[in-house]
Structures are given as structure tokens and as C-alpha cells.
Amino acid sequence: MREIVFDTETTGLDPGSGDRLVEIGCIEMLNRVATGAVYHCYFNPERDMPAEAENVHGLSIAFLSDKPKFAERAQEFLDFIGDAPLVAHNAGFDFGFINTELAKCGLEPVSRDRMIDTVAIARRKHPGAKLSLDALCSRYGIDRSHRTKHGALLDAELLAQLYVELMGGRQIGLELAVEAAMAGSSIVSGSVTTVDVMTVSASATRLFRSPRPHAASAQELARHAEFMAGFSEPLWSR
């Protein structure tokens, strides 16, 4: 099963009031194993960057000013995600921004039927616990020491690990899968990632072993009887 784990960075919290998407990072997973295929891009929001938002992700307007507009990369993004389910932490927030940007381009929204929200999954598994990405990474022992600021691709990579843990770890469906190696690569050039969409295959195989005979042979029975005869007044004969 192909799934896309993703995260976004924005200029604020409300796309309805003019906040814009400035970064998106996507991780492709096959049978909940990262294939190595990613999609990552920064976007020029065509507006200012509030200081509060810049303090979170560190993306300034000076840095974003020469980046492509979302409309210029929209189809590339849609081609990468295909029709796969989309996994995000507090997914309604990310879907809201993506669909607002798609609407500005005159494109159809991504159906929320495809949405998998790891916050909702974590809330069911750990009611009353802290549900931030940081808190859940700490709970599951996921290393985030290299995370000094929020970043869409970095957070998507952490989320991919967390998603696997929330869904039961590597043992999926009570069967241990043997995953095939990936066949391709992603190339990062400058501040924009150029993606080579990979053809990836994976297989879950189980070796068949013929049943072994379990009955004792006549020779084994005779040796056992000889051994038992050596006991003097055994407890089991009383």
C-alpha cells in the first residue's frame, strides 16, 4: 500500500484570512516503509512573513522571494501524491492550506477522505497525553536532536517514523514483511528539490516449510523404555 506522509509550513494559521503555504515536504511509504522518494519545495507566498511564523520555521521573505509560486509547482505536487492516502499531524490544518492553494490555481481540492490524522490516532492510543510531534517522538524514542526549527521535510521524516510506531511498528498485520530495495533517487538542487518519481516494488514473502514428523521411532521408544527401567521405585509408579 502506497501512502504519503507530509508536512507544511505557512505564514500563519488561517488560509481564509490570507495566510499562505511556504513549504511542503512529502515522504513516500510503501507498506509503511519509506522508499526514499520525496517531494520538497519552498514557495514564494507573495506577501509578508509575520515574525511569529518566521520564529517557528526560520523562513524569511528574503529567502522565499526567488522561490516558485505554488501555482508553478501545483501539478508536480499532485503528480507525486497521486491517489495515495495522505498522512499528516493535525491533518485538517495541512489539508486546509493545500486545498486553498489548489483553489487559487483553479484545481480540484484533495478529498478529505484520503486524510489520515496522526493526532487523532495518538489521541485514541494515549488519551490525556501530550500530542505534539515533539512529545510523541519522545514517547516512542524517535531521535529529533537535529531539529532546531520546524521544517516541512524534516518534520515529515519524523512523522513517518512516528506513524509506523503508532500503527504497531514494523510488524504490520501480524506478519513480518520483507521489503524490496528502492529503484531510484531524489535530487536536491539549490533551495528547490527536483523529484525523480521512482518505480518502487515491495513484497511480503513467507517461506514454505514442509511439516516434520513428530512421532518417536521404534528405536527411540526402546531406548526410552530402557532408560525408565533404570529408576528404582519411581514416584510415578506409586
Q: Where are the alpha helices (DSSP H) in the chain?
A: 51-57, 61-64, 70-81, 91-104, 118-125, 133-139, 152-166, 218-228
CA 74 to chain centre: 22
pLDDT score, position 146:
77
pLDDT score, position 207:
64
Cβ atoms of 25 and 158 closer than 8 Å: no
40 is in an annotated binding site: no
Cβ atoms of 200 and 184 closer than 8 Å: yes
3-state SS assignment for residue 39:
strand
Report whether pLDDT(197) > 50.
Answer: no
Report whether pLDDT(188) > 70.
Answer: no
7 is in an annotated binding site: yes
Where residue 148 falls among pLDDT bands split at 50, 70, 90?
low
Pairing state between β 86-88 and 192-194 = unpaired
> Could you give the CA distance from residue 227 to residue 224 in angstroms, rounded to a whole number?
5
User: What are 113's strand-pairing partners?
Assistant: none
Could you tell me the domains of the chain?
2-205 (3.30.420.10)
pLDDT in tens, 72-110: 999 999 999 999 999 999 999 999 999 999 999 999 999
Q: Which residues are catalytic?
A: 150
> Could you give the CA distance from residue 52 to residue 113 in angstroms, rounded to a whole number?
32
What's the order of all strands across the beta sheet hosting 115-117? 33-42, 21-30, 2-10, 86-88, 115-117
pLDDT score, position 190:
35
Where residue 238 falls among pLDDT bands split at 50, 70, 90?
low
pLDDT score, position 196:
40
> Could you give the CA distance from residue 207 to residue 138 in angstroms, rounded to a whole number?
37
57 is in an annotated binding site: yes
Cell numbers for 53, please give them. 511564523
> Could you give the CA distance from residue 155 to residue 151 in angstroms, rounded to a whole number?
6
9 is in an annotated binding site: yes
Q: 12-18, long-range: CB within 8 Å, 24+ apart, which pairs?
A: 12/50, 12/52, 12/53, 13/93, 15/96, 15/97, 15/100, 15/101, 16/100, 18/47
> Could you give the CA distance from residue 45 to residue 66 in angstroms, rounded to a whole number?
10
Report whether pLDDT(221) > 70.
Answer: yes
pLDDT score, position 210:
67
